[in-house]
Structure 1
């Protein structure tokens, strides 16, 4: 068996080797290394600053969206412009594509002509821009069901019931088995577009409705109101188990 001992002679040789390596770091090389470190530090500082500013702009966008949702009315042109600029600024400042910021931009676009009916020619520009923002958000976060639901809603506003509409509706349903907010929105979209859905799509919509009713009394009442407004109470009530209708005190 060969044993290697860390003798004083070996230690001395190792120290001489290390001193030789240090000598290789000439002043020029040290300057280049220092410069590289400074460049990297500056790049990190710039990226961090951009992310901070993007976050501030996104917070401003969120504040507008919450305010408009609470009032349930179209914003003024001035308010919309400020919110839109903030949404664009958040996207432009962030170092990489951000699915959350893209989705918020789409929502801002939808609010511009919020009160106009589905398929209104005057609203096509902003609604097409909203749909495109949601497509870009999906490209960044393909497994996020909210983005798919948002695109389905945008297609509804555009009255575009094409292959893409049916695809995004199915994707949202698959990706959100128990995300109640998504299921409620899917049920609403499905109730509105019921005549355009095939048998399998209708069953998926009713499954989303059952999930929503089963979740809580509050969600149950919201969905029943949606069904009433869209003339879908019979379809909803016929799809619910008797025990669930009794518990939720609906369809009795």
Structure 2
């Protein structure tokens, strides 16, 4: 007979487990209904801002792509390919779909259409210039004090050969909004030469300012030669107060020496 005692089992008494209440339930229980309502409203606003910030980021990526394309085309003087143009238009359309009332994005699409018109020519070019003009009008309505949109409208109307009363009104408006803006100098000088307004105070004012500004000096000379208005430009410079800006083809008396 086995007399060896079986090992004793020790029973340990455990106290009842205490359940911890999650922090959010504790906060919820101690928070007034008014505070809960304010918190919920803030969360909704935060979610909305997050979605808006995300859409802004997506649109910005598309805008950067279009800006890079336009920069390359400007440097080379031509659109790299029809596929590149279509891809750029698709990108800017995506950005506009995200933010339909962004004037800068509307202007970017207008520039793309101008480049396509420049590349294709013919009836299709007139349609693209017309669409670009509409986009610039929308941008100007959204940003009425921005002179560059007015300058863009002037240039497109010149491309469409619309030398009408609206063009004169745009020149006056651009002069008021951007008296020292390079894009305005170029647009007004070009419009004055194209429409034969050689005695216009606007022409003299912006030709002089354009020549005094290093950002637009070269363009002033190019426009003068493009429209074969060297004598007109030199005569205007001769009437300008000192110190007079210079053109490479004018002598000290403001007369043309090359033509």
TM-score category by the smaller chain?
A: 0.7 to 0.9
> Which one has the bigger helix percentage?
1
Out of 198, 203, 206, the position equivalent to 1:205 is 203
Contact 1:144 1:175 in 2 (8 A): yes
From 164, 167, 183, the equivalent of 2:166 is 164
Q: Which residue of 2 aligns with 1:188?
A: 190
2:236 is equivalent to residue 239 of structure 1 = yes
Gaps of 5+ in 1: 1-21
Q: CA deviation at 1:162?
A: 2.4
Aligned with 2:150 (options 135, 148, 151): 148
Q: What is the aligned partner in structure 2 of residue 61 from structure 1?
A: 66
SS in 1 for 2:163: coil
Structure 1 runs (4+) greater than 6 angstroms displaced: none
Q: 1:109 aligns with which of 108, 113, 118?
A: 113
Matches within 5 A, 1:1-252: 25-26=32-33, 32-94=37-99, 97-115=101-119, 120-191=122-193, 193-195=194-196, 197=197, 202-216=200-214, 219-241=216-238, 244=243, 250-252=249-251
* TM-score, length basis structure 1: 0.78
Cα distance in 1 for partners of 2:224, 2:165 equals 25
How large is the RMSD of aligned CA atoms in angstroms?
A: 2.6
Whether contact under 8 Å (1:109, 1:126) holds in the other structure is yes
Aligned length: 221
Q: Is the 8 A contact 2:211 2:245 kept in 1?
A: no
Q: Tell me how far 1:33 sits from its aligned partner.
A: 4.1
CA contact (8 A) 1:73 1:115 kept: yes
**2:25 matched residue in structure 1:** none
> What SS does the corresponding residue of 1:160 show, helix, strand or coil?
coil
Q: Residues of 1 paired with 2:245 and 2:83: CA distance? A: 49
Runs of 5+ in structure 2 lacking a partner?
1-28, 252-259
- Greater Rg over alpha carbons, structure: 2
